[in-house]
Amino acid sequence: MISLHGVDKHFGDLHVLKDINLDVPAGQVVVVLGPSGSGKSTLCRTINRLEPIDNGEIRIDGEPLPSEGKGLAALRAEVGMVFQSFNLFAHKTIIDNVTLAPMKVRKKSKDAARSRAMELLERVGIAAQKDKYPAQLSGGQQQRVAIARSLAMDPKVMLFDEPTSALDPEMVNEVLDVMVSLAKEGMTMLVVTHEMGFARKAADRVIFMADGAVVEDTDPESFFTRPESERARDFLGKILGH
């Protein structure tokens, strides 16, 4: 479903992605771990082409990424992305946040978009807040709306880049619960997170990145109990050590 072959990316002199090879089959949940600056966000951003690459190839469901125009808009609809900052439209209600893109990009009728949006808002537990504005919701609620908004486009793949890092601790689980249920339903997901509970509960696979390269690519159990590289042992020592 997601495939990267020989992907390289530089920012000026900085080599941020080094020969990345990654194949994610449909329905797999991959957690991406690694120290700050290792290239995790850049990896996500290249997959929906928010960042172009220098070399290599990226395919979604067998199709090479389009570089511009209509094809690119269609790709963005197929690859949902949820960031640390929720990026909801502040001056639109919750329901309008969720219906806007399906109407504009997917050309859904207002009625169809609203009924699908209500289904998704139910699923993330926010239906009762549909007529409020983002600022009237907690961070955890806003992030759940952001997930519903992505799902409204019927994406083939969901990318999450530290979706709980900006949340107060008591709100982390309500967002992770939505992600766990999405994973159980078979969504193909690439998740950058430091939430080890999520990695252990929902991940099929862990990718550990350091200095722009994939250093380990294994199952969660092996990664957490028998990391092979010094870099991974060091990283785990720091995040699990307190």
Least separation in angstroms between CB 229 and ligand ADP = 16
**Inter-residue contact 160 to 192 (CB < 8 Å):** yes
DSSP 65: P
| Binding to ligand ADP in span 41-70, by CB under 6 A | 41-42
**Inter-residue contact 130 to 145 (CB < 8 Å):** no
Site string for Mg ion, 9-48 (x = CB under 5 A): -------------------------------xx-------
Identify the residue among 7, 29, 34, 183 touching ligand ADP (CB under 6 A): 34
Least separation in angstroms between CB 37 and ligand ADP = 4
Least separation in angstroms between CB 36 and ligand ADP = 4
Q: How far is CA 158 from CA 54, 83, 231, 239, 242, in A?
A: 24, 11, 28, 25, 31
**Inter-residue contact 204 to 180 (CB < 8 Å):** no
C-alpha–C-alpha distance, residues 169 and 121, integer Å: 22
Binder of residue 89, out of ligand ADP, Mg ion, none (CB less than 5 to 8 A by kind): none
C-alpha–C-alpha distance, residues 4 and 20, integer Å: 7
Binder of residue 56, out of ligand ADP, Mg ion, none (CB less than 5 to 8 A by kind): none
Nearest to 159 by CA among 6, 46, 38, 23: 46
- C-beta closer to ligand ADP: residue 27 or 52: 52
| Binding to ligand ADP in span 1-20, by CB under 6 A | 11, 14, 16
- C-beta closer to Mg ion: residue 44 or 75: 44
C-alpha–C-alpha distance, residues 55 and 109, integer Å: 40
Cα 220 from chain centroid? 18
- C-beta closer to Mg ion: residue 43 or 60: 43
Least separation in angstroms between CB 22 and Mg ion = 17
For Mg ion, the binding residues (CB under 5 A) are: 40-41
For ligand ADP, the binding residues (CB under 6 A) are: 11, 14, 16, 34, 36-42
